[in-house]
Chain A
Amino acid sequence: MSWVLFLSGMLLAGILGLSRGSVRRYVVAGALGLLGAIPAFPLVHAVGYLSRESLGPTLLALIPFAPHLVLVPLGGVLALGLAHWGGRAAGFGGVLGGGMGFLSLMAFLQGPGHLVALRPLLGLMEGLVGLALLLPFLALAWLRRRQAWLWLPLGVALGLGAFSWLNSPQGHTYFPRMAGYYKLVLPAEPGAEEALVARFNQGLEELNQVRKEIGLPPLKPIQNLSDLKEGRLPQEVAQAGYRLLRPEALSYGAVALLLFLGFMVGSGLWLLRHPDLAEASDLRSGLVLAGVALSVFPAFDATEFDLGKLVEGWPFLVNFLDRAWPPNLAQPQSGIYPLQSVASEMLLTVEIALVGTLLAALFALPTSFLAARNLTFRNPVLRVFFYLMRTFYNVDRGVDTLILALILVAAVGLGPFAGVLAMAIHSIADLGKLYSEAIENVDKGPIEALESVGASGSNVLRWAILPQVLPLFVSYTLYRFEINFRVSIVLGLVGAGGIGFFIKGAMDAGHYDQMVIGIIAIVLVVNLIDFASSWLRSRLV
């Protein structure tokens, strides 16, 4: 597994090198990614007695336990330094840094499991977060030196406030859960492991007796802790602050490190053959590549991305399709007419979108003029309205139609009315923002011309601005209707009626052959509406 990952990294670098762009940036990206993953990503799993006691120490946290792992960050630094040197040296740095990091990491990953002691680093993460909160304000104070008197004290106050808040006894509960991030991993005192092994073997006879009674095969005595495999630590050992480190159970940090190391070696080899494949901007592009890679690894882990599950579940999909086809259009003998239901529910879905969009447009039209910077900035009263409207739009945009619908269903009950209200409220912000941006972007010439003939302000609005923006308004409204139609499909799922409601009902009842009619209808109508609306819009502008 480890070898496969390392070789994949090399292969990826080899393929990317074929494009003949700068290869040095890949060495830089690999090294930077490595250095980022070392303190941030959990490397392997360590288990206790309860599942919530398991943790994933980072490579950095493991260095006191396995000091040779320091070669991994050193390899990254070496590669970066030599990459700065440039030419063949950069390639050499990639190969050497990646190579020694790989060897050191493999030595650890192939090693046996061990009992380790945890030393919590109290307040470390809380302090770091407090400092991180302070930083933007310091940056602001530095960028806008004229307003430093405002930003600097504000930043210090907020930073200190956050720091003490997060360092309060309950401080750690304000963080996302991060297993073992602020704990150092130390070797357990000598003899502790042997004692544990002896204890396990002692109690084995009794355990096997129990296993025999419930029909499980007996366990063999173990030589060391690695043989425990799926086993856990005894409760009191775990509570005393010990964990069983299992290097063979890779966490996503190990995956990332192996890929980065392979990537460094692969691009280093390319660079040794073609030392001229380098550019001045390599550090910057390397930073960007490493940043993207570093944000993607934890995301895949957090979303439990696993293609294996899809392969396992494939037969269920096939079974589902078997039961869904052919569609059950009508069942006269039992008085069920699914096609008719789909047609009426689809009609309702379109009608929800129509009413929702119309209401939103009616409210957005007048308010968007107040939210246009160019119309409001000459008058202090209007400027207050400008900020009010913009704030309203921004807050409203953040609350999605579905969430509004859930709230409104609670208020006005299940049914299309809640959906229409939710859609109207959310769309006001979107339309209002588009409308006001159209107003801000009008050609200023006609405004100047109408002012020069002595027309009043309202007449300038009517004759210079409105003719310019009206076609855009109609176009945006049509576009919003397209979106709202798709939204109203999903609205049915939260009980606001329409085709989504039908599909959820059919799904829950296991009537897949009825549900499939709804899906086909959606595909047809979505395309029909998109086509009609974009044709109309192309005629308008």
Chain B
Amino acid sequence: MIEVRNLSKIFPDGTQALSEVSVSIPEGDFVAIIGLSGAGKSTFLRTLNRLIEPTSGQVVVKGVEVTRLSRRELQAFRRKVGFIFQQFNLVQRLTVLENVLHGRLGYLPAWKGLLGLYREEDTAIALEQIRRVGLQGKEKARADQLSGGQQQRVAIARALAQEPELILADEPMASLDPRLSDVILGILKEYNEERGVTVLVNIHVLELARRYARRILAFNRGRLVFDGPVEALTPEVERMVYAGNLEAL
């Protein structure tokens, strides 16, 4: 259960990225967030785990008021939230296994993390997630030796190794070959159905949003302009979502 109330974000340069967004997402939902680039999709996702600090408003996840957490508490909260980035954000010089193990750092005391003293169960979880994304045999390969699609799968494995209760994915396919979209979204969908974990995905390809999501959120110039099931996304709504913003492209 995610509760967002009156969430706003104004960047230091004066850009209003989010204005007064309120939405409530039930547990286990698969939500696609659509809108033009610059509409506020990415900012919305990042304010949910405070990679970006909101200017005002509240975010409550499973009864925890995220916007009020201290630094320590935020770290503890974040280990249960998997975040997948458009640019993968892997540490290029480390191996696949080391990158996936980073997902377990939140569960270790800081000094053990510094020395890389992972427990056996951490390694087991990491290996399992590498298998899940279909990269078994590549554990010892360096991240920069992999293709883009493989790198994004490593990044997903890292997020899944967190054993997340919420997955946030920011345009996970945007820098990949379009044919890989089904692989990426397939993994997320499978995890969502298997574990009942809520998934929020930013997508700019409408057709993919229709195919995978149960629910759609649409942003236009920082405002939430549509919130409803996939079936309610009529051509009229589409026009509204993509209206009047072409110069921003």
**Residue ranges of A at the interface with B (Cβ–Cβ < 8 Å):** 443, 445-446, 448-456, 458-459, 462-464, 467-468, 471
Contact residues, B85-122 vs A (CB, 8 A): 85, 87-94, 98, 102-103, 105-106, 110, 113-114
Contact A449 B77 (CB under 8 A): no
Contact B103 A453 (CB under 8 A): yes
> What is the CB-to-nearest-CB distance from B233 to chain A, in angstroms, rounded to a whole number?
29
Contact A454 B85 (CB under 8 A): no
Secondary structure class of chain A's binding surface, majority of residues: helix
Question: Which single member of B78, B81, B91, B162 contacts A467 (CB below 8 Å)?
Answer: B91
Contact residues, B23-56 vs A (CB, 8 A): 49, 51
A448-B51, A448-B85 as given contacts; A455 in contact with B106, CB under 8 Å: yes
A449-B102, A456-B113, A458-B110 as given contacts; A468 in contact with B91, CB under 8 Å: yes
> What is the CB-to-nearest-CB distance from B92 to chain A, in angstroms, rounded to a whole number?
8
CA distance A458 to B75 in the complex (A): 13
Chain B CB within 10 A, most for which of A451, A458, A471: A451
A-chain residues with CB within 8 Å of residue B88 when the two chains form the complex: 445
Interface size on B, residues (CB 8 A): 33
Q: 25 interchain pairs (CB within 8 A)? A: A445-B90, A449-B83, A449-B89, A449-B90, A450-B102, A451-B51, A451-B78, A452-B49, A453-B78, A453-B82, A453-B83, A453-B106, A453-B159, A453-B162, A454-B80, A454-B105, A456-B110, A456-B113, A458-B110, A459-B114, A463-B91, A463-B105, A464-B91, A467-B91, A468-B93
B-chain residues with CB within 8 Å of residue A449 when the two chains form the complex: 83, 85, 89-90, 102, 155, 158
A-chain residues with CB within 8 Å of residue B113 when the two chains form the complex: 455-456, 458-459, 462-463
B-chain residues with CB within 8 Å of residue A456 when the two chains form the complex: 75, 105, 110, 113
B-chain residues with CB within 8 Å of residue A450 when the two chains form the complex: 102, 105
CB-nearest residue of chain B to A452: B83
| B221 at interface, CB cutoff 8 A | no
List of 5 A-B pairs having minimum Cβ-Cβ separation, nearest first: A454-B106, A454-B79, A445-B89, A454-B78, A449-B89
CA distance A170 to B97 in the complex (A): 74
Question: Which single member of B79, B90, B103, B159 contacts A446 (CB below 8 Å)?
Answer: B90
A445-B87, A455-B113 as given contacts; A467 in contact with B76, CB under 8 Å: no
A451-B51, A454-B106, A463-B102 as given contacts; A446 in contact with B89, CB under 8 Å: yes
A-chain residues with CB within 8 Å of residue B90 when the two chains form the complex: 445-446, 449
> What is the CB-to-nearest-CB distance from B145 to chain A, in angstroms, rounded to a whole number?
15
Question: Which single member of B75, B81, B85, B98 contacts A455 (CB below 8 Å)?
Answer: B75
Q: Mark B155-181, 1 if CB is under 8 A from A, else 0.
A: 100110010000000000000000000
